[in-house]
Amino acid sequence: MHDRKGEGPPLIGTLPPGIAFPAMETSRIAWIGTGVMGRSMAGHLLASGHAVVVHTRTPERAAALLEAGATWAPSPRAAADGADAACVMVGLPSDVEAVFLGDDGILAAPRCPRLLVDFTTSSPALARRIASAAEAHGALSLDAPVSGGDIGARNATLSIMCGGSPEAFAAAGPLLAKLGKTVVRQGGPGAGQHAKMVNQILIAGTMLGLAEALSYARRSGLDPATVLESVGGGAAASWSLANLAPRVLKGDFAPGFFIEHFVKDLRIALDEARSLGLELPTVAAAERAYAALAGGGHARSGTQAIVHAYGW
């Protein structure tokens, strides 16, 4: 499933000399979902000259895009009708299923887009179902979950983990290059979602460590900001430490990524691990801690709010 032998170069930005993604004629893009990250991502495509047709459950969140020249559609089906590509960035697997496969979804459009890209973190099995349905409609499909949070979305420096055919990856390449800095094809449909689970497993441990380390520093009488000057440049350095720890010290718990979405991701990771015969105790501990925070009123806080589980 993950074998790339004979399938061509996997990376954008590290292609052999003379090899490039084919020119893409996409001019009309349907964009579904304008949350914390989706707004910025759609904005990059709009700013690069594409005609962007937007649908989101909360129209107010699309206001800035509409002011910048995007147009509104009343449903995913309407947004996708006649579009060259459809891009989706929503919250839950149930949302993904409805947006792609529902009666008013993208694949129900009379003129289905030739390229479908799902940036949502969802289940590998659902990604495979969408790819199969897309193929039946003569379309290419790519599961392309992202990492980098609101900062990466704003700066177009996301890491994008892709699953799909080489043809789908090549077709999406010019769009993905406008959104991310690291874009890698991991294998066939669903492989992008599996790679994102690896990412979330790593983050689960990192965030628990970050919260415990900051709590220890404060309780021991150290100045956490001064401590970060030392540990932030050593072996303990990480993206989370550099970007989220300063937010904690400022009392900024606004979401770059919602806790409720991280809980969803961790549960997908645990489910997939069980199907593979694996136990992930660190992920299980993170899921319990974050689920408790979500149930205690922090569901829409950023993941850095994990420090509240340690009496912050």
Span 53-73, pLDDT tens digits: 999 998 899 999 999 999 999
Question: What is d(CA 191, CA 3) in angstroms, rounded to the nearest whole number?
Answer: 10
Span 102-128, pLDDT tens digits: 999 999 999 999 999 999 999 999 999
pLDDT of residue 58: 87
pLDDT of residue 26: 59
Span 198-221, pLDDT tens digits: 999 999 999 999 999 999 999 999
State both tokens at 148. Answer: 């980098």
pLDDT of residue 7: 45
The domains of the chain, with CATH numbers, are 11-188 (3.40.50.720), 195-310 (1.10.1040.10)
pLDDT at 141 over 70: yes
State both tokens at 26. Answer: 């996409």
Contacts of 288 (CB under 8 A, 6+ apart): none
pLDDT at 194 over 70: yes
Span 231-290, pLDDT tens digits: 999 999 999 999 999 999 999 999 999 999 999 999 999 999 999 999 999 999 999 999
% of the chain at pLDDT higher than 70: 92
Q: Give catalytic residue positions.
A: 196
pLDDT of residue 220: 97
The pLDDT of 81-88, averaged and rounded, is 97
Find the angle CA(304)-CA(305)-CA(308) to the nearest 5 degrees: 135
Span 3-50, pLDDT tens digits: 343 444 444 433 333 334 344 555 899 999 999 999 999 999 999 999
Contacts of 111 (CB under 8 A, 6+ apart): 81, 82
Span 145-170, pLDDT tens digits: 999 999 999 999 999 999 999 999 99
